[in-house]
Chains A and B, each alone.
Chain A
Amino acid sequence: MNPITPILNGLKITLSHLFKKPVTLQYPDERPKVAERFRGLHALKVSHNNAKCVACYLCPTVCPAKCITVEAGEDSKHDKYAAKYEIDMLRCIFCGYCVEACPVDALKMTGEFELANYHRSDFNFTKDRLLEKK
């Protein structure tokens, strides 16, 4: 086995890398561009000023990390709606099963991934924080 040629080939490769543009992003000045279907923070979709969620309990059932808490209630038009809808982001694994499971297309995942916070209680996203921003 020739011991010199692989080293020379390696030296050539690293030298060519020296002149390539580095792939590093200077966070926080440059942020990464996420894909369209990126699974970030959840958002409850709204129609006619109400969340579309009908509290069918499909999303807590399918959630692998058991992070969604739903409590049903009756609204003014005697329809079922989610009186309490909470997602614990510390448990959530961002798999997207809840979005797939929803029969009324009430849940989606946005591209927001900068979820760092100071207190443990700040990670418990209640319904008002989860409503999508229009």
Chain B
Amino acid sequence: MGIEILGLPLVYYIAMVSKVLVAFVFVLLTVAYATYAERKIIGHMQVRLGPMRVGWHGILQPIADGIKLFFKEEIIPTESTTFSFLIAPLIALIPAFLTFAVIPFGGVIEVAGYKVPLQIASYYDTASGTVIDLNVGVLYILAMASLGVYGIVLAGWASNSKYSLMGGLRASAQMISYELAAGLAIISIFMMTETLSLWKIVELQSGWGGFEWFAFKQPLAFFMFFVCSLAEINRTPFDLPEAETELVSGFCTEYSSMKYAMFFMAEYANMVTVCALSATLFLGGWNGPMAVAFPWLGPIYFIAKVYALMFFCMWIRATVPRYRYDQLMHLGWKVFLPLSLLNIVVTGVIGYFIK
């Protein structure tokens, strides 16, 4: 075409918009059917069936849930601070989707003569023949994870209710403690790759047979990152802030209909994001057999890895009982934080001797 906006051809912007649409729709559908899959999987693990009535074997259950929540009455407590009350679910939900801007879910595909890498915030530089993406990708991800905490804190405070306040306080304390351990766990990855760009991290794991995956080179970091991220998104066994038996509904007690649905979606969207991150940083992202030869295989491998990790999350939810709050804090500060620091030291020492 020849039209250049800000120095990049028009096809770059068209490609970016379509990538955003595809990723957004994919995450939304995954979130909706993750709720259904969770109920079915946990049901079968408890030797019972999950939803069976709505559609064939309950497959229309998420749609029925969505319609029900949509038609519920909106109750906003008069004593609450309305603006913060209304904004809190958005702040909890949006960073989960924003993180997908830097996750590569495929290799480089060729569309109408232009090469387009399957990562939203990147483009193929024809001059140098490489893919240029956000070179502080992992820092961006950590920042988005921290933003999610604000939503929960705001929800707890703005509701002006004792249950919500305690739930919000506990949730934010838990999220901050485990974010620390998770962030330190991935530092050992940067020490190995010497780059923060997610595209290069995936590229460095493209050895034959999957033996180059960082899950094998840094098993402790993988384990800790995954578990600490589970704790950060308030997922069982660390879901005390939203446990129904403990605090009515924790920080989202005063929320109804769509806003409650948004918190609910935020938990599952965060789960998808965390699994996608773990797949990218530790399981080789979109790498797999013949992923470079057939570019459409890349996203399929990525999705398979993300879904496998999500199944693992649901498996853990069906198995492990909830941690009490003091046990949770003990784990976060006295077990995972020293372990992650130890991991960094050991990686540094081994790296020094290998070089």
In chain A, positions 1-23 with a C-beta closer than 8 Å to chain B are 7, 10-11, 13-15, 17-18, 20, 22-23
Please report the C-alpha to C-alpha distance between residue A22 and residue B320 in the assembled complex, in whole angstroms.
21
Q: Does A26 contact B (CB under 8 A)?
A: yes
Are A17 and B44 also in contact (CB < 8 A) when A22-B49, A24-B49, A26-B52 are?
A: yes
CA–CA, A24 to B48, complex, Å?
5
Contacts of B46 in A (CB 8 A): 17
State whether B41 touches A18 (Cβ < 8 A): yes
In the complex, what's the smallest C-beta–C-beta distance from A34 to chain B, in angstroms?
A: 21
Q: How far is the CA of A7 from the CA of B319 in the complex (A)?
A: 8
CA distance A107 to B41 in the complex (A): 48
Interface pair A14/B319, CB less than 8 Å apart: yes
Determine whether B304 belongs to the interface, using a CB cutoff of 8 Å to chain A.
no
1/0 contact trace for B11-41 toward A, CB 8 Å?
Answer: 0000000000000000000000000000001
Please report the C-alpha to C-alpha distance between residue A55 and residue B108 in the assembled complex, in whole angstroms: 91
Q: How many residues on A have C-beta within 8 angstroms of the other chain's C-beta atoms?
A: 13
Residues of chain B within 8 A of A7, CB atoms compared: 319-320
CA distance A31 to B256 in the complex (A): 37
Residues of A with C-beta under 8 A to B52: 26
- B318 close to A (CB within 8 Å): yes
* Bound Cα distance A23, B48 (Å): 6
- A17-51 CB mask vs B (1 if < 8 Å, else 0) is 11010111010000000000000000000000000
Q: Evaluate contact between A22 and B319: CB separation under 8 angstroms.
A: no
A-B pairs with beta carbons under 8 Å apart, 14 shown: A10-B320, A11-B319, A14-B315, A14-B318, A17-B44, A17-B45, A18-B41, A18-B45, A22-B49, A23-B47, A23-B48, A24-B48, A24-B49, A26-B49
Please give me the 10 A-B residue pairs with the lowest Cβ-Cβ distance, nearest first: A10-B319, A14-B45, A14-B319, A24-B49, A24-B48, A22-B49, A17-B45, A14-B318, A18-B45, A18-B44
Q: With an 8 A cutoff between CB atoms, is B43 at the interface? A: yes
Contacts of B173 in A (CB 8 A): none
| B315 cross-chain contacts in A, Cβ below 8 A | 11, 14-15
Q: Is B248 interfacial (CB-CB < 8 Å)?
A: no
Interface positions of B from 308 to 327, Cβ below 8 Å from A = 315-316, 318-320
CA distance A24 to B315 in the complex (A): 20
- Chain B interface size, under 10 / 10 to 19 / 20 to 34 / 35 or more: 10 to 19
A14 to B46, CA, bound (A): 7
CA separation between A50 and B43, bound complex, in Å?
52
Q: In chain B between 44 and 87, which residues have their CB closer than 8 angstroms to a CB of chain A? A: 44-49, 52
Note all chain B residues with C-beta closer than 8 A to A15: 45, 315
A26 neighbours in B (Cβ, 8 Å): 49, 52
- The complex places the Cα of A14 from the Cα of B45 at a distance, in Å, of 5
Q: With A and B bound together, what is the CA distance between A15 and B311 in angstroms? A: 11
Residues in A whose Cβ lies below 8 Å from that of B320:
7, 10
Give every chain B residue within 8 A of A14 (Cβ-Cβ).
45, 315, 318-319
A112–B48 alpha-carbon span in the complex (Å): 25
Q: Once the chains are docked, how many angstroms separate the CA of A67 from the CA of B70?
A: 48
A40–B47 Cα gap in the complex (Å)? 28
Is the beta-carbon distance between B47 and A17 smaller than 8 angstroms? yes
Interface residues of B in 278-322 (CB under 8 A from A): 315-316, 318-320
Q: What's the nearest-Cβ distance from chain B to residue A21, in Å? A: 8
The residue that A22 contacts in the complex, of B41, B48, B316, with Cβ under 8 A, is B48
> Which of A10, A11, A13, A22 meets B43, CB within 8 Å?
A22
Tell me the complex Cα distance, A15–B318, Å. Answer: 10
Known contacts A14-B319, A18-B41, then 7 further A-B pairs from the complex at CB < 8 Å, ordered by chain A residue: A13-B319, A14-B318, A15-B45, A17-B45, A17-B46, A20-B47, A22-B49
Residue of B nearest to A19 (CB): B44
Residues of B within 8 A of A17 (CB): 44-47
